[in-house]
Structures are given as structure tokens and as C-alpha cells.
């Protein structure tokens, strides 16, 4: 398909007409600009609202009104086990067994909770390896965990840098650093898809290399879940965490997800911070003082579930479940391929001023673009013209056409506006 793209409205309209997922666009609310839906390319930051989400939340409001506390048992979807409604659908999207995932808390919180179990440094083995320019929250997590355990982040944090003059990280440099630190590395924690460059890392091989060196391997999948194919169980990943408000369209600050490989579920000597929701279900309400952990990822749960945000998450996961990641990824590759093509066409007219820094071979739907010679004013102009991409300092415009609701005409329209502004 890539070879035969054309930069015309008729061509884009034709692709849309033949798109098997075209009806899903109608299921989302788009912000408007001059009474037209904007070109929304920030589903990697906050996914759009599914129209049906309102009903899902209203159901819970009405059951709360009707039943009060008894809604825990009498609601249409009883609140006690509400999170279980999400588990299987979520597990499918990340390639996990249902027992290996649970939706709980929020992403940064979960990273800390998982590090309680999976970052257990010793005097010899204490270093953490991550990618340079990790998302700031992740950097703060790693630095503060190191400090908490009495280590100096300067010395104990191995940040893999892109080479001079490059934007993305070479896998060989990751493997080399793992090898060089194999006596001292305790944990590898990498963003599976880098938020800034959109680079997708080879999680299977990084996991294998980490294990070979005696390290635990976890991934932050904030930009991976709902975007790329994930096989966390088969890749043998130790743990992972992600949020649900980016590609997973569950609304601002909505409930997050974790993965813990099943080999840890019965290891009751693994340290963890406990709460009553991680307690074995049949005896949870005996209110006994002894913590009896659930033998699954659910044992990391602390608190009873935030039902409204879970309702929004369920609404969205229902849609993902219906479509399936395979169909989404097929469309995603076509959409992002079309965006790369359009950028290439603009470059022919505009002195190659646009540089896509996202690697073609390792990407999901996001393209990170450096517009040489243009700064933030270009981004501001895009916004004024009804395009919503996002801007990341110092000079990157991120565009993520997402397959559930973006279409080929969005990309064509974006191209028209961008070439007018350059």
C-alpha cells in the first residue's frame, strides 16, 4: 500500500470508504474548530471520549442512587468484583493471562508499588537501567526509589543515550550496557514505546538479555497499551504498568493497569505493600488481621475500586474487545504510513525541512517530527487551524493518528494545513 499512496482528497476519501473500521469514528466525540471536527492527533496523550461512556457512568450513578451501599452487591454490575469485568479484555490487549493483569490506581503509583516487589537491591546488585529521556514521572520514580534505598542516582542509574547526532536508542547499546553491568544490575525499567520519539523497543529480547544478566525486567507501557502488539506473558516480562487514558480512551486520570508474570503469584515471600483489596476474596470481610494474599496480580491491589473511572474504562475496553488489536494494528500501519508519505510529499516542496525521528521499523502509530527552522510558533499555528498535535520541548511535534477514530482524510487535511503554514 505504501508505494501507491497519493496526496489527493479523492485518494484519502477512497481509503476511508474502504476502511473496515470506519464506523468506529462515529462512536467518539471530537472537539470542534469552526464547527468542524478538529484533526485530533493526540490520542497518545488523552484519547477521545467514546459516546457510550456516559451511559456506563450513568449506570453506576443510578445504581448508587438506588441502592446506596448495597450497590456493592445489587448494582447491575456489582461494585465488589467490578474490576474483574475489565481484566480479561485488558489482558488480551497486552498479551497476558487474565490472572496476570488487574486495573488499579494510577500509573506512577503502580510503578512505585511494583518496585517495592521488584527492585530489591543488594550491595552488589543495585543498578537500574533505563532509557535516556524517559518520561519525567518515570525518572522521578527511579531516582526516588534509588534514594529511598540509600543509593546515589548519579552512580546507580544507567541511562542509555542515543548516539551523537541521533534521536533514537540503538538496541546494541542497550545490550552492551546490560553486559557491561551484569554483575551490578538489579532492574531494567524502560518505556516500551518512548513517549518522545515513538521508538518501540524490542521487549522480548531486552527481557531475555536482562534475565541473562540476572536482572528483573519491567516496562512502562503508557504508550504501548492499545497501540502496539504486546505479548507480555510470552516475552517472559517480569512486570509492566500502563495508564488507560492515552490510547485506551478511558478519560483523564482514569484507572491504570498492571501486569505481573504468573511465576510470581504464589511467591508469598516477595515483599509487597498490602491493602485489603489484595486479600483473598472469600475471607476479606472477616476483617482478620492476617493478610492472606490473592494468588494473582490482584494481590497488588490496595483499595476498593474507583467505580466511575472503571466504568469509563469498561466502556472503552468493550470497543477494543470488539475490534481486536490485529485489525487496529493493520489500520494503524496504513494510517501512519500515509502520514509519513504526506510528510515526504511536503518535504519535496519545502526543502526537506521536516524530519521524522520515529524509526520506520520500530513504531506504533505516533510520528515525532522535527520541523527544522520552525519552533513552537508552528505548533501554535496548527492549533489555530484546527489541528491538535502536541509539542514537546525542545523541538518535537508529535502526531498520533489512532486507528479507532482517525481517518485518512484527517491526514490529508493535516498535510494541506501544514504545507500552507511552512
Ligand X SMILES: *Cc1c(COP(=O)(O)O)cnc(C)c1O
C-alpha cell at 89: 479484555
Task: Say whether residue 220 binds ligand X (CB under 6 A).
Answer: yes
For ligand X, the binding residue among 43, 47, 191, 198 (CB under 6 A) is 191
The reply on whether position 63 binds ligand X by CB under 6 A is no
Only segment of 7-15, 133-141, 329-337, 391-399 that touches ligand X (CB under 6 A): 133-141
Written as nine digits, the cell of 122 is 543488594
Pick between residue 136 and residue 150 the one whose CB is nearest to ligand X.
Answer: 136
CA distance 20 to 53: 23
- Site for ligand X (CB under 6 A): which residue of 223, 265, 279, 398? 223
Q: Is the CB of 184 or the CB of 366 nearer to ligand X?
A: 366
If we measure between CA atoms, which residue out of 320, 300, 328, 134 comes closest to residue 223? 134
- Choice from 41, 56, 119, 135 touching ligand X (CB under 6 A): 135
What is the nearest approach in angstroms of ligand X to the Cβ of residue 81? 25
Between 192 and 386, whose beta carbon lies closer to ligand X? 192
What does the alpha-carbon distance between residue 154 and residue 145 come to, in Å, rounded to a whole number?
Answer: 13
Q: Which is nearer to ligand X, 378 or 399 (CB)?
A: 399
Mention every residue, 6+ apart, whose C-beta is less than 8 A from residue 21: 323, 327, 328, 331, 403, 404
- Per rule CB under 6 A, is residue 398 in the interface with ligand X? no
The footprint of ligand X on this chain (CB under 6 A) covers a number of residues equal to: 12
Under DSSP, the state recorded for 37 is E
Rounded Cα distance between 198 and 160, Å, is 16
Binding mask 193-212 for ligand X (x = CB under 6 A): --x-----------------
Residue 54 to residue 51: CA distance in whole angstroms: 7
Radius of gyration of the CA atoms of the chain, in A: 22
CB nearer to ligand X: give 158 or 243.
243
The phi and psi torsions of 405 (rounded to 5 degrees) equal -135, -10
Closer to ligand X by CB, 89 or 112: give it: 112
Q: Are strands 101-104 and 256-260 parallel, antiparallel or unpaired?
A: antiparallel
The smaller minimum CB distance to ligand X, of residues 195 and 408, is found at 195
> Minimum CB separation from ligand X for residue 229, in Å?
18
Task: Look at residues 110, 156, 157 and name the one whose alpha carbon lies nearest to residue 133.
Answer: 157
Contact status: 346 vs ligand X (CB under 6 A) = no
Residue placing its CB nearer to ligand X in the complex, 101 or 407: 101
Preceding peptide of 394 cis, ω within 30°: yes
Q: CB 114 → ligand X: shortest distance, Å?
A: 13
Q: Phi/psi of residue 32, each to 5°?
A: -115, 155
Of 416, 421, 406, nearest to 336 (Cα)? 406
Shortest distance (Å) from residue 180 CB to ligand X: 25
User: According to the binding rule CB under 6 A, does residue 138 interact with ligand X?
Assistant: yes
Of the two residues 77 and 249, which places its CB atom closer to ligand X in the complex?
249
* The one among 6, 59, 99, 137 contacting ligand X by CB under 6 A: 137
Q: How far is the CB of 71 from ligand X (least distance, A)?
A: 27
Q: Hey, how many other C-beta atoms are within 10 angstroms of the C-beta on 158? A: 18
Report the SS3 class of residue 197: coil
Segment contacting ligand X (CB under 6 A): 132-140, 308-316, 342-350, 388-396?
A: 132-140
Residues 85, 93, 243, 388: which binds ligand X (CB under 6 A)? Answer: 243
Does 222 help bind ligand X (rule: CB under 6 A)? yes
Can you spell out the DSSP letters for 136-152? HHHHHHHHHHHHHTT--
The dihedral sign for the CA sequence 388, 392, 397, 402: negative
Q: Which of residues 82-111 bind ligand X (CB under 6 A)?
A: 106-108
Q: Specify the residue, 7 or 250, whose C-beta has the smaller distance to ligand X.
A: 250
DSSP states along 336-359: HHHHHHHHHHHHHHTTT-EEE-S-
The residues that touch ligand X, with contacts defined as CB under 6 A, are 106-108, 135, 137-138, 191, 195, 220, 222-223, 243
Amino acid at each position: 500500500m505504501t508505494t501507491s499512496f497519493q496526496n489527493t482528497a479523492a485518494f484519502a476519501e477512497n481509503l476511508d470508504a474502504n476502511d473496515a473500521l470506519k464506523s468506529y469514528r462515529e462512536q467518539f466525540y471530537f472537539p470542534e474548530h469552526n464547527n468542524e471536527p478538529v484533526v485530533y492527533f493526540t490520542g497518545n496523550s488523552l484519547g477521545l471520549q467514546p459516546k457510550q461512556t456516559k451511559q456506563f457512568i450513568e449506570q453506576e450513578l443510578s445504581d448508587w442512587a438506588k441502592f446506596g451501599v448495597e450497590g456493592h452487591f445489587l448494582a447491575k454490575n456489582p461494585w465488589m468484583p467490578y474490576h474483574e469485568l475489565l481484566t480479561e479484555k485488558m489482558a488480551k490487549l497486552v498479551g497476558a493471562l487474565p490472572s496476570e493483569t488487574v486495573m488499579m490506581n494510577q500509573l506512577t503509583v503502580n510503578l512505585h508499588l511494583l518496585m517495592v516487589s521488584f527492585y530489591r537491591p543488594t550491595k552488589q546488585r543495585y543498578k537500574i537501567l533505563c532509557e535516556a529521556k524517559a518520561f519525567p514521572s518515570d525518572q522521578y520514580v527511579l531516582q526516588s526509589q534509588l534514594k529511598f534505598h540509600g543509593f546515589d542516582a548519579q552512580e546507580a542509574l544507567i541511562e542509555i543515550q542515543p548516539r551523537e547526532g541521533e534521536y533514537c536508542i540503538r538496541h546494541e547499546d542497550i545490550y552492551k550496557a546490560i553486559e557491561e553491568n551484569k554483575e551490578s544490575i538489579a532492574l531494567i525499567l524502560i518505556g516500551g514505546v518512548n513517549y518522545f520519539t515513538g521508538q518501540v523497543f524490542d521487549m522480548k529480547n531486552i527481557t531475555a538479555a536482562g534475565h541473562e544478566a540476572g536482572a528483573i525486567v519491567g516496562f512502562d507501557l503508557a504508550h504501548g497499551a492499545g497501540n502496539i502488539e504486546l505479548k507480555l506473558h510470552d516475552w517472559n516480562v517480569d512486570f509492566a504498568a500502563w495508564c488507560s487514558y492515552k490510547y485506551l480512551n478511558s478519560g483523564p486520570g482514569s484507572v491504570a493497569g498492571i501486569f505481573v508474570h504468573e511465576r510470581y503469584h504464589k511467591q508469598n515471600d516477595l515483599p509487597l505493600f498490602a491493602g485489603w483489596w489484595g486479600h483473598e476474596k472469600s475471607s476479606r470481610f472477616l476483617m482478620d488481621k492476617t493478610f492472606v494474599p490473592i494468588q494473582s496480580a490482584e494481590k497488588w491491589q490496595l483499595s476498593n475500586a474507583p467505580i466511575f473511572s472503571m466504568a469509563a474504562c469498561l466502556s472503552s475496553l468493550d470497543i477494543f474487545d470488539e475490534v481486536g488489536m490485529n485489525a487496529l494494528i493493520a489500520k494503524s500501519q496504513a494510517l501512519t504510513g500515509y502520514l509519513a508519505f504526506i510528510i515526504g510529499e511536503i518535504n519535496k516542496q519545502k526543502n526537506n525541512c521536516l524530519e521524522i525521528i520515529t524509526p520506520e521499523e520500530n513504531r506504533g502509530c505516533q510520528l515525532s517530527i522535527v520541523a527544522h527552522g520552525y519552533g513552537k510558533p508552528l505548533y501554535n499555528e496548527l492549533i489555530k487551524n484546527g489541528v491538535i498535535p502536541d509539542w514537546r520541548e525542545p523541538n518535537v511535534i508529535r502526531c498520533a493518528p489512532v486507528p479507532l477514530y482517525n481517518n485518512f482524510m484527517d491526514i490529508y487535511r493535516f498535510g494541506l494545513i501544514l504545507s500552507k503554514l511552512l
